Structure 1
Amino acid sequence: MLKNPASSDMVAGKKAEASKRKIFRLNANDKYFASIFLGPSLFLLGLFVFYPMFKTLYISLFLTNTLGHTTVFAGFSNYAKLITSPDFINSLTVTVTYVVAVTALTLGIGLLLANLASKKLPSIGIFRTLYSLTMGVSVAVAAIFWLFMFNPSTGFFALISNALSMTPINWLTDPKFAMLAVIITTVWMNLGFTFLILLGAIESVPRTLYEAADVEGASPSFQFFKITLPMISPTLFFVSTITIIDAFKSFGLIDLITKGGPTNATNMLVYRIYKDAFYSGNYAKSSTEAIILTVIIALVTLVQFKFLERKVNY
């Protein structure tokens, strides 16, 4: 018996339409469940991230009283006054110096230690543990430890100076050495995380590449620059981005070790924001500084992704 082609087409069309309705219902259910699961996270994100951000931007356009309440609309005059202030320029210079030094030393030393720890040497596991111990140290404990280390009378560096018959350095009271002390402390704190991430990346490089290089007689330095670095470049890019952002936001060690001193030698932007808000009660000024710092971090990150990511081998 011959089938009617028209009826077959109708049946096929009805099946297709029913299938579309089913897919639509599934998509609607997916959106419903997605809203349920994402709702709490979006609410908390809006409450603790986006609302404070827009509130800070709003306050930066006004003058405020000591309670933080807006009084007079100032527009962008707060920004104009701030970027021409010598104190702010000093804090910006100090911050840039700190960020560059911390990033370069953290990545350089972390990469060196990770490369050494990847070698098959006796008792290398002990050194791996020692290198990564700083990940379990809190900011407060690190500050106490380094305050003792930098003590000009009984600290570790003072003992070395006395043993060498040298005058001990006043690390935390001399403007020439206070920034160096903070940089050393921060690098020591960051090394554990950087070391572990880079070590994992190096150990994931296929060993066959090194074996082929050994057969060709390539030197260890050639293997490091031509094999290791290109293969771990995505991880290196990630670590550098995280390190730079964290350096811009450094607060705890500054507050516990130097409190921005001496003579504003370590008064970085984040600590300046804190002091202007909670010491001076100038919330408009601190909000303006916070917005400028946010813009600086965003621009630096954008430049990284725009130019440095091109050199990353995925």
Structure 2
Amino acid sequence: MTSTATRPARIEPDQRAKTRVIPTPAEQARARKVRSRRTRRHNRLLFALLAGPNIALLIAFTYKPLLQSFYYSTLQWNIGSQRAISVGFRNYTDWFTDSETPHVIGVTVVFTLATVGGGMVIGLALAVLLNRKLKLRGPARTIVVAPYVLSGVAVGLLWLFVFDPNFGIVAAALGAVGLPSPAWYNDPQWALVMVIIVQLWKNVGYIALIYLAGLQAIPQDVLEAAALDGAGPARTFRRVILPLLSPTSFFLSVTTLLSSLQSFDIIQAMTKGGPLEGTTTMMYEIYRDGFVAGRAGYSSAVATILFVVLLIVTLVQLRFVERKVHYA
């Protein structure tokens, strides 16, 4: 008779009871403060890492020269001279009492209003056209925007040949219908018209591109609802599309105004401020007085005045014009 050995029961490893310690409210508050300090420290380090280089460049190349320009405007100093005399606000009074100042202000105002107003009207018309389903719409958009990325000096030199009174395309087109070519280079008024046309040609593509993005962001159901209410294309554009484009128009009014007031390269390449100061804007006067005549103090005063004008115009736009903007 065989006996079976009784196997001992298998003993599982002891499972130590895990006791969960619940922290007190004071300990929980202390832990939250520690996590909050760590989060703030991490955010500050991340901000310094990402924004620090940009802020340093702004301080070095924007704000520091701006403050130096304010200081130089109180000096009678010629570029290259080792001596500078503090004259207070005499450079400002000299500019405001100069007999050429009203003419320079007038040229600046005409140039700015024509390039900003004309550019926004033409750009909006081009955007509406390019938003339609047309053949070769893609290449047409590229052609319209291409001048904006070109160098202003290159554009100015190119258009000098276009406006040439003897061999230019404009003279040939006018001669074909029996009209004489205007004296673009000798008449101050026609010279101003010439640089305005070139400035519009260069920048209108940018305006059209921004307006095109605004048109494509308009919900189609809004346009369909206007059509169901019996609104025609003209009324839909005036009562629906234009109000919805008001944020885009406000943005363009600010950016193009600042760009036009600071325009320099096209004027320098085409007319050099002439003839008879017919195309001398405030921006070009800063260059002429500072780097041609060498009057660094006087030029800095004009630059400061232009900065104040830009600041006031921008603040007025932000304060009053933005009230008419519909963001919803």
Partner Cα distance (2:51, 2:44) in 1: 10
Q: Does 1:226 align with 2:239?
A: yes
1:68 offset after TM fit, Å? 5.5
Unaligned runs of 5+ in 2: 1-20
Partner Cα distance (1:222, 1:190) in 2: 29
Partner Cα distance (1:249, 1:136) in 2: 17
Question: Which of 89, 114, 117 is the equivalent residue of 1:101?
Answer: 114
Q: What per-residue deviation string (whole Å, max 9, x for no partner) do you get for residues 77-99 of structure 1?
A: 21111112121222111111100
One-letter code aligned to 1:100: L
Greater mean deviation of Cα atoms: 98-107 or 11-20: 11-20
1:167 offset after TM fit, Å? 2.1
Alignment of 1:111-130 (within 5 A): 111-130=124-143
Q: Secondary structure, in 3 states, of the residue corresponding to 1:281?
A: coil
Residue 71 of structure 1 is matched in structure 2 by: 84
Q: What per-residue deviation string (whole Å, max 9, x for no partner) do you get for residues 110-155 of structure 1?
A: 0011112212334433433332222332213211221111000011
State whether residues 68 and 283 of structure 1, in contact with CA within 8 Å, keep that contact through their aligned partners in structure 2: no
One-letter code aligned to 2:134: L
Alignment of 1:129-168 (within 5 A): 129-168=142-181
* CA root-mean-square deviation: 1.8
Residue 321 of structure 2 is matched in structure 1 by: 308
Greater mean deviation of Cα atoms: 29-38 or 193-202: 29-38
Alignment of 1:1-314 (within 5 A): 11-67=24-80, 71-314=84-327
In structure 2, do the counterparts of structure 1 residues 33 and 122 end up closer, same or farther at CA, with 3 Å as the change threshold?
A: closer
One-letter code aligned to 1:98: F
One-letter code aligned to 2:80: L
One-letter code aligned to 2:30: E
In structure 2, do the counterparts of structure 1 residues 49 and 302 end up closer, same or farther at CA, with 3 Å as the change threshold?
A: same
Partner Cα distance (1:143, 1:173) in 2: 17
State whether residues 59 and 70 of structure 1, in contact with CA within 8 Å, keep that contact through their aligned partners in structure 2: no
State whether residues 61 and 284 of structure 1, in contact with CA within 8 Å, keep that contact through their aligned partners in structure 2: yes
Q: Secondary structure, in 3 states, of the residue corresponding to 2:24?
A: helix
* Percent of residue pairs identical: 34
Unaligned runs of 5+ in 1: 1-6
Partner Cα distance (2:141, 2:45) in 1: 48
State whether residues 64 and 282 of structure 1, in contact with CA within 8 Å, keep that contact through their aligned partners in structure 2: yes
In structure 2, do the counterparts of structure 1 residues 116 and 88 end up closer, same or farther at CA, with 3 Å as the change threshold?
A: same
Partner Cα distance (1:69, 1:119) in 2: 63
Q: Secondary structure, in 3 states, of the residue corresponding to 1:166?
A: coil
Partner Cα distance (1:125, 1:25) in 2: 51
Greater mean deviation of Cα atoms: 210-219 or 119-128: 119-128
Partner Cα distance (2:266, 2:186) in 1: 15
Greater mean deviation of Cα atoms: 200-209 or 116-125: 116-125
One-letter code aligned to 2:38: R
Greater mean deviation of Cα atoms: 263-272 or 28-37: 28-37
- Larger % of helix: which? 1
TM-score (norm 1): 0.93
Greater mean deviation of Cα atoms: 30-39 or 288-297: 30-39
